[in-house]
Amino acid sequence: MIEVNHVSRSFGSFRAVDDVSFSIRKGEIVGLLGPNGAGKTTTMRMITGFLNPTEGSVLIDGADPQSDPRAVKHRIGYMPESAPLYGDMMVQEYLEYVSRVQGVDPDEKLPGLARECGIREVMHKNIAELSRGYRQRVGLAHALLHDPEILILDEPTSGLDPNQIIEVRKLVKEIGRTRTVIISTHILSEVEMLCDRVIIISRGRIVADSPTAELRGRFGEEAVVRIAAAGCTAESLCEACADIDGVRSCTQTASGEQDTAGKPLSTVILSVSGGRDVRPDVFARIRDRNLVLYEMSMQRTSLEDVFRSLTTEGDAS
């Protein structure tokens, strides 16, 4: 459906996108993540044909946005972060106007679209009077008017209150059942709820491309387990746990904690992968060695942890 092949884009001496390649299949909901200035919006504008690549190529269902722009734009619905709406028009007349510009019969299209986007009750209101949540919905209706196969959303919930965010997320999830969707967002929990796959861009390059459910395992530890025990050294505690299935590594730490007799506790951090809960095996090893366990706690790695690790690697501290 979407093929991005070794695409780069420069603005003068600044290289905003640097040799980016990925493909998106029909029916996928893909999250495009990255810090501010990472190249997300520039990449989306090249996919839609608003910008030409400096190098490389983009194909939309086999069509080139530059050589066959009408065919590509017919397949794509695009909602930028701030939807460009005419505030002095009513929602009904605005969508009728856009329909006619696009060659769509508004009488046939608008009733179902208004229901789908949840804007029936504001069709006769001025756009300037709408809340930001409803303006986002109108922008989404605009993007869907010509029934595109691909929907590209740039920060669709930016600036919305929590209730509006939930409503727009439900709407995007429903729309994604029948279309290919690309969502650019800074809200990582949104990606986990909506997206089948995540592409992370940093400094113009792709640093991760993975199914959402597998992202932690591929690009970071799935969990860490902290252990504090008495009757051993931290080194021997690591040796006892190192060959447990699922334990990737063991790090000795200096916690300053003491047991009931005032002796220092040995503390280690186990990095765990593979989705397996290693705590029963860890407990068995400690019991078999007659050690006294004071603490064992597990913390799952969050998507935020993976994102930060991938996008700050190499930064000066």
Q: Residues of CATH 3.30.70.260 domain(s) within the chain?
A: 222-300
Higher pLDDT, 299 or 241: 241
d(CA 72, CA 24): 15
pLDDT tens profile 9-50: 999 999 999 999 999 998 899 999 988 888 998 999 999 988
Total Cβ atoms within 10 A of residue 207: 18
d(CA 304, CA 101): 42
Of 191, 31, 179, which is closest to residue 116 (Cα–Cα)?
179
Position 317 confidence tier, pLDDT thresholds 50, 70, 90: very low
pLDDT tens profile 157-211: 877 788 878 888 888 888 888 889 999 887 787 888 889 899 999 999 999 999 8
pLDDT of 106 strictly over 90: yes
Element (H, E) at 237: helix 234-241
Greatest distance between any 2 Cα atoms in the chain? 82
CATH for 2-218, options being 2.40.110.10, 3.30.390.10, 3.40.630.10, 3.40.50.300? 3.40.50.300
253: left (phi > 0), else alpha (psi -120 to 50), else beta? beta
Higher pLDDT, 47 or 316: 47
**Statement: the pTM of the whole predicted model exceeds 0.85:** no
Structure tokens at 176: 């994604």
pLDDT tens profile 22-32: 999 988 999 99
CATH 3.30.70.260 fits 222-300, yes or no: yes
Find tokens 């009488």 and name the residue.
Answer: 107
pLDDT tens profile 210-263: 988 787 667 665 688 999 999 889 999 999 999 999 898 899 987 677 777 777
